[in-house]
Amino acid sequence: MRSAFFRAVMELAESDPRINLVVGDLGFGVVEPSAKKFPKQFLNPGVAEQNMTGIAAGLALSGKIVFTYSIANFPTLRCVEQIRNDVCYHKANVKITSVGGGFAYGALGMTHHATEDLAILRALPSMTVVAPGDPVEAEAATRAVAAHDGPCYLRLGRAGENNVHTGAIKFELGKAIEMRDGDDVTLISTGGMLESAMATAEMLRNLGVHARVLSMHTLKPLDDAAVLRAARETKTIMTVEEHSVIGGLGSAVAEVLAESGEAVAFKRIGLESKFSGLVGSQEYLRERAGLSVAAIVSAAQKLMKSRRKLVAAGA
């Protein structure tokens, strides 16, 4: 996703001098091409993310479209006050970009585990929150947030993610992408869990279960219509995210369902609200946290079983 993001930013910068990139002194292998080609549209304030955000807000209020960029929690949690007061309050055209959502930097420990960012950024007024599911969505999302007038949070994976989409996509902020249809259960994923959601659906198909998969790349504004349509048509919904179960995708979908009055079996698959004491690869940490494909399949089967009991009871 990281490479797709930089490819899109460079193409945008070439055609629009308002595009600026402000980074927190990292990622030189991917950052240097932008710095060399567009020196007047690039700034590195150093390891000072609060300053980075304040500078970005100032540039935006002078007419620029500014992407800030850093690892995991650093452009978000380290400078929440500046994001809230400088960016969101003024509805500044700043696009906060985080690389390494979830456990992508798992070997560096909990300080680099971005597991609460979606909840916190989603709560801020004026903020649009986007977590693309693969490199195809990442490139489209970069262009979409650049065109959007106002603050955005773009949450990326680290590198090496596979393309889940096999062709061109129609990407629109606030509109989920239906990856496959199904009428037994709906899997709604956000961010880098899209590939796992698709693998889960395929395993369920082999078990005779037809799963619908929605890529909910935008958490705010959420595609309420897609959620409610899934509730009516499948009666069973499970959210899948590499983020705390509190405040992220699962919470957003639960809010819609609770206020809709729809009778639906619902389950959030995500991370417990606790710090991980483990270090290791992203795959290892996902598995230990119950985010493996096998664990998601098992959870879906249990959820469908509970739904059948409700139906049998006349609920």
Alpha carbon distances (Å) from 7 to 25, 139, 313: 19, 8, 54
CA 131 to chain centre: 2
Contact 134, 146 (CB under 8 A): no
CA angle 63, 68, 72 (to 5 degrees): 160
One-letter amino acid identity for 157? Answer: G
First to last CA, the chain: 43
Query: What does the block give as tokens for 292?
Result: 């493996």
Q: Which residue has the tokens 């490199």?
A: 135
Output the DSSP codes for 102-117: BTTTGGG-GGG-B-SH
Is 49 noted as a catalytic residue in this protein?
A: yes
Give the active site residue among 11, 14, 32, 49: 49
| Measured distance CA(96)–CA(126) in Å, rounded | 13
CA-wise closest residue to 70 among 93, 55, 88, 53: 53
| Measured distance CA(267)–CA(200) in Å, rounded | 15
Residues designated as active site: 49
